[in-house]
Structures are given as structure tokens and as C-alpha cells.
Chains A and B, each alone.
Chain A
């Protein structure tokens, strides 16, 4: 893990670092964007993606990229979202859904969340 990582976005059930990680990426309630230096979080609502008929994962990827995140931690990330995040060099960490946002970030920084090399969820229609 190099020192470039400044911001980590985590799909979240709520707005704080102590809320649970939302297992969903595209249809997550929102994202806590954690500033690694200060361990403070900024919340972005993902409600607009939740109501989309399709393309929620791609829209959420735009949101995460727009927030300047270097890393995205979530439960499951589908193929299109993964491809979009990958294209802009955002590291994806999956299977973080048993933790709080803070725990997920700490685990990632401790090297316990491997950078995914592919999506862990099939696409769907």
C-alpha cells in the first residue's frame, strides 16, 4: 500500500464512521468518504442511484470518483461498477459488510482487505 491514499469511500447504512457498511454498492444508502489523515468522514447521499431502474452501480461509481476517493470499500460490487471504478484507478475492496465504516477503513489500512481484481457480484437486469 503506497502513501498516495488520502480518501477512502465506504458504502454505508448511515452518515457516520460508526454506522455499518452497506453490503450493496450501487444501491447503498450513501457513502462515508473518510479522510485518512484525520479519520473524519463526509457523507454523500446515494438516494438518486437507489431509485434508478438500471445503472445504479455506474452512477454510484461516478459519485465516488467525483468525491475524489482513492479507494472504495463495500460488500459486493458488480461488473459494470467495477469496470468504471477501475478505469479511474480507484482501488476496490469487497466483503466489508460485517464491519462499521471505521473498522473497514482500519482493516484496509492494516492491509487486511485485499484490492479486488474483479467484481464479486454477477450483473443483473
Chain B
């Protein structure tokens, strides 16, 4: 089972939920921090780092002396990574999405494969769980290429050694967030019960529901006052899987880098129940698929 913890708004509690679930997860688990622009799961899970590797992507390198200025590559590139400016061919390697089309179409052999560093991939162990995270290179504009390399490593890992996967996603509803949720079996949307939280939660629901994956909601800082969220969930038949209370003790534990399941037995129980709810959600979707 692959579970992605996502949200519309940032700061709703994705990492709090992911770290808490990781600590109560009994079966074999791979925890993944896909928020490569600002990974922070490691601050709570304190993994022992075993390997750090550099992730790269293929980009074109231009040899102008071989270029006949036919312009085919510039015409092909949808991302303006290659452009014809009058009689100049220019490349903008940081715009490249790595499709390789320009290398294939060049009739002159003027383009050869080069590398652009995307960032690093860090692997280790956090307690009983495997741990993997990415960290984007400063200045790198796009995160999905690095995220996809991490996802490939995750897929290879669970192919060899089947286990559950728990993904801490980046916030938002654009390409990075979609890259995180698109291959998961269950999406857990974390929101806080504020008007801002609700607004971005609806965006996330709109962005992710077309994938038709089972989705459930964790309401953080419950009791802060925004009741729209409950009406919305009831209206859309979105199950509320857990409610984390608005509690100073939680904020204090978080500020010290503690997983909040350590705050009280009640909170620990809350996440044990949440895990069960997530499993039920996944199983329910499986049954529905069987009936279909």
C-alpha cells in the first residue's frame, strides 16, 4: 500500500501526520520525503543516513561548429530550452525537461548529451523503517524530475522487498504535488480548520479527485472554528479519518522536533486508529474495484 500525505496549504501538518504514522506503523515501511524543496521529515524521524547520491538529468550540449542552423531542435523544444535567435542557436539548459527530442532530431551531430545536477537523494533507516528523501539543488527550477527519480527508487525497492510506503508530499496543487499523489493507493489530505486551510483544501480536492483514488481527510488544529470543512466533507462523501486537537502541548513537542505520538497515549491511539482507517479506505476501494 502506498499512502501519500498531501495538502493544499502548507503548514497544515503533513509532516506531523507522516512522522506520527511512521512511528506507530507495525508492518514493514518505507518513509519518503518528496518535499524536495524543503524536506523536513528527517527532523522528526532522525534517520541514520546510509547513502547520499547525486541525481542528474540529461540535457543537450551544443557544438556550434557542427551546427547547420537548421532550427529543427528549437522548433521541437516545447520548453524554450533551445531557441533560434536570428542566426544564433542558443541553449538554456535549466529550462530543459530532459525529453531527449533535440538529441534525436539533430541531423548534424551538433548536440551531445550532457548532465544537469538535480539534487541529492539521501537514504537511511529511521527506527524500523527505511527512509529516503530528496533535496533539490539550489537554483534548480523544477522538482518533478528529481521526485520521479526518487519514485523510481521507491518502486525498485518495494519490487524487491514488498512493504508499505508512506510519502510526505510537498504542499500545493501544481506539478510537484500531483507527482507525489499520482501513483499512490490512498491520498490523505491534511487541512487545518481555518478559512485559509479550507480554501486550499478545496483546491487540493479539486486537483486530486480526478485520479479516482480513495481519499480521506485529517483535520488538524480541530476546533479552531471553521466548520465549512465538515459540511464540505459530508457533501462530497469524503471521510474524516482523524481530528488532531488544537493543543499547546502538540505545538511544544513539534517545536522540539518530537513526534507528537509521544505527547500522550490519546494522541498515539489517534494515529493507530488513523492507520486502521487508511487501511479500511484502501480495502474498501479494492472491494469496489472487484465489484465493478
* A-to-B contact residues, CB < 8 Å: 52-55, 58-59, 61-62, 65, 80, 83-85, 87-88, 123-125
Contact A54 B90 (CB under 8 A): no
Q: Known: A54-B95, A55-B95. Is A87-B88 also a contact (CB below 8 A)?
A: yes
Q: How far is the CA of A58 from the CA of B88 in the complex (A)?
A: 13
Which one of B79-87, B197-205, B234-242, B280-288 is at the A interface? B79-87
Q: Known: A80-B95, A125-B141, A125-B142. Is A55-B88 also a contact (CB below 8 A)?
A: no
Q: Known: A55-B80, A59-B80. Is A88-B95 also a contact (CB below 8 A)?
A: no
Q: Which residues of A contact B90 (CB under 8 A)?
A: 83-84, 87
Q: Which residues of B contact A55 (CB under 8 A)?
A: 79-81, 92, 95
Q: How far is the CA of A125 from the CA of B141 in the complex (A)?
A: 5
Q: Mark B71-112, 1 if CB is under 8 A from A, else 0.
A: 000000001110111101010100100000000000000000
Query: B171: shortest Cβ distance to chain A, in Å?
Result: 16
Q: Which residues of B contact A123 (CB under 8 A)?
A: 141
Q: How far is the CA of A52 from the CA of B79 in the complex (A)?
A: 9
Partner of A62, one of B81, B85, B92, B95: B85
Query: What residue in chain A is nearest B143 (Cβ atoms)?
Result: A125
Q: Which residues of B contact A52 (CB under 8 A)?
A: 80
Q: Which residues of A contact B88 (CB under 8 A)?
A: 87-88
Q: How far is the CA of A18 from the CA of B92 in the complex (A)?
A: 35
* Most chain A beta-carbon neighbours within 10 Å: one of B80, B81, B142: B80
Q: Which residues of B contact A124 (CB under 8 A)?
A: 141
Q: How far is the CA of A123 from the CA of B139 in the complex (A)?
A: 10
Contact B142 A87 (CB under 8 A): no
Query: What residue in chain A is nearest B92 (Cβ atoms)?
Result: A80
Q: How far is the CA of A65 from the CA of B90 in the complex (A)?
A: 14
Q: Which 9 A-B pairs have the closest CB atoms?
A: A55-B80, A125-B141, A58-B80, A88-B86, A88-B85, A87-B88, A58-B83, A84-B85, A87-B85
* Given A55-B81, A58-B80, 12 more pairs with CB closer than 8 A: A53-B79, A55-B80, A55-B92, A58-B92, A58-B95, A59-B80, A59-B83, A62-B84, A65-B86, A84-B83, A85-B85, A125-B142
Query: What residue in chain A is nearest B89 (Cβ atoms)?
Result: A87
Q: How far is the CA of A103 from the CA of B88 in the complex (A)?
A: 32
Q: How far is the CA of A31 from the CA of B80 in the complex (A)?
A: 20
Q: Which residues of B contact A83 (CB under 8 A)?
A: 90
Query: B279: shortest Cβ distance to chain A, in Å?
Result: 37
A-B contact pairs, 25 of them (CB 8 A): A54-B79, A54-B80, A55-B79, A55-B80, A55-B81, A55-B92, A55-B95, A58-B80, A58-B83, A59-B83, A61-B83, A61-B85, A62-B83, A62-B85, A65-B86, A80-B92, A80-B95, A83-B90, A84-B83, A87-B88, A87-B90, A88-B85, A88-B86, A123-B141, A125-B141
Query: B145: shortest Cβ distance to chain A, in Å?
Result: 12
Q: Which residues of B contact A59 (CB under 8 A)?
A: 80, 83
Partner of B85, one of A53, A54, A65, A125: A65
Query: B64: shortest Cβ distance to chain A, in Å?
Result: 12
